[in-house]
Chain A
Amino acid sequence: MEWQFLFELSVNGLLTGMMYALIAVGFVLIYKSTDAINFAQGEFVMIAAIVVAGMATNYGFPLIAAIAVGLVFMIVFNLALERFVLRPMIGRPIVAIIMATIGLALVLQGAGPLVFGAGTKPLDIGVPDEPLIIGPLFMTPIDVVGAAISIAFLAVFGWFFMKSRKGVAMRAVADSHMTSIAMGINVERYFALAWILAGVVALLGGLVWGSAIGVDTQMAALGLKVFPVVILGGLDSIIGVVIGGLIIGLVEALAAGYVDPFVGGGTKDFTPYVLMILVLMFRPYGMFGKPIIERI
């Protein structure tokens, strides 16, 4: 009985962890290719979900059409953001870019409800609500679907990033802008591609998380959850993000299952950050991030 409880907590924690990885990979994507830390990734997820849910509930769009609108919106929005806000800031101190993304996050939090209303909207992507029961194991279907979407995206993106020529160019840009320019790589185009991909992955995150927890400005808090994930995994490693996500999902679930009953709840919400601080103290590059290669 006791083992069964542990098993069930772990499985559900890992599923949630994969869904965290889906949010975190957008963050890593931007960091890897442009060096910018995007504090608005959680708001991207939120705004994508708000647009899709808003089109569906306020305007009665069928799901597919609402998702299409969301996709176009995220691509156009992120392209414009890159072109008009972030590109002019290239070469300025990194703190300026960080401040810009924090400002953007607050603007999005305010603007989203302004357009589509502040109430929590449901987002139904056709996943049933009844728990999935396999033997003794209870799972939430949306978690299973979310984890599957996450794995599928990460597999496709991982292949693109590690194996394709464009992926190599993208990593070259992440390694050195100047040298990439000298190789004839149009660095600005790859910046734009990184932001487009970050928009697409935010939409996927918005769909699965919106279905799981409902769509409102609270979703932006997911962006904060992502910090322990990327710190654990390393800001620049994609495999690391998956492992970081799984660990955080697991730790949260175990804290909720074993600690909360004794202290009256709430430990789930801060244990990831305790873990993050511990990792920062002992492994400044994260658990799986690459150290800066120093050789003279």
Chain B
Amino acid sequence: MLVLNNIEVVFDNVILVLKGISIEAKEGAITTILGANGAGKTTTLKGISGLLRPERGDVTRGSIEYNGERIDQLSAHETVKKGIVQVFEGRQVFEHLTAEENLIAGGHIVSTARMKENLEKVYEYFPRVYERREVQAGYLSGGEQQMLAIGRALMSDPKLVLFDEPSLGLAPMIIEEIFGIIKRLNKEENLTVLLVEQNATLALNIAEYGYVMENGSIVLEGSAEALRENADIKEFYLGISSGEKKSFRDVKHYRRRKRWLG
């Protein structure tokens, strides 16, 4: 459904952030991108949804294809119309709008009748948001805001949703609930999901396929099952150590050199 073909992203014409990324998100599947801070995960998602331009970034090489059609030069409001929507890192609700107004804004591109149907559907998935619909979104709890942000994304009838670290800063119980809902959306609404996470355990639990990103490149990919069993993943992301303790950076560089750079 979505294919990133060796893309390169440059900010301000000089800062090379993505150095040839190839990723595929299969229709109806959950695909995850793992990686530490600054790896380029968010940049990858923004490249797909057309949000680089406002930050003076550009896809300078490679292509992004969605259902066989190139979308790398589209602006965000065009990609939304094609059925791709991004749920931002750190939630980013419209703070001064009520929860319901946030949802209405999320359904901006659909007809009023369709918007009302979608509103019902979102409230079914997120009864908590329904209870808080009259409240200014800025005053919702972190978990409620994340649910609102996801619900808002669903309002535009997306086929592909890009989640950027939905677990960020939330309590374990809430995270579990949210990941459960992502899985349900994937199954019940046949939603294709591209999930960026630092929490590898959670992500690999619901995903079918995963990529590991470091420093603007993909360093590892495979089925979720294979990645769960991978020694590096275990050590760096799942926190299961198989030997003496070293600092995160040291281990990472040592391992990386050993495994991928010779």
Contact = CB atoms under 8 A, between A and B. Distances in A.
Interface residues of A, number: 22
A186 interface: yes
Nearest to B55: A178
A169 interface: yes
B94 interface: yes
Contacts of A168: 97, 101, 104-105
Given A175-B94, A175-B97, A293-B136, A185 B77 contact: yes
For chain B, give the interface size range. 20 to 34
Contact of A178 (B51, B97, B101): B51
B72 to A, nearest CB: 17
B80 A171 contact: no
Contact of A182 (B85, B97, B136, B138): B85
A182 B88 contact: yes
Contacts of A177: 54
Given A172-B108, A183-B156, A186-B77, 17 more contacts: A165-B112, A168-B97, A171-B96, A171-B101, A172-B105, A174-B96, A179-B92, A182-B80, A182-B88, A183-B106, A184-B77, A184-B85, A184-B108, A185-B108, A293-B96, A293-B138, A295-B139
Report whether over half of chain A's contact residues are helix, strand or loop; otherwise say mixed: helix
A181 interface: yes
Contacts of B101: 168, 171-172
Interface string B84-97: 01101000111111
A169 B138 contact: no
- Give the residue among A165, A184, A290, A293 with the most B Cβ atoms within 10 A: A184
Contacts of B106: 183
Contacts of A183: 80, 85, 105-106, 108-109, 152, 156
Interface of B: 49, 51, 54, 75-77, 80-81, 85-86, 88, 92-97, 101-102, 104-106, 108-109, 112, 115, 136, 138-139, 152, 156
Contacts of B112: 165
A179 B108 contact: no
B96 A179 contact: no
Contacts of B80: 182-184
A181 B94 contact: no
A176 interface: yes
A180 interface: yes
13 contacts: A165-B112, A168-B101, A168-B104, A171-B96, A172-B102, A172-B108, A176-B92, A179-B88, A182-B86, A184-B80, A184-B85, A184-B109, A293-B139
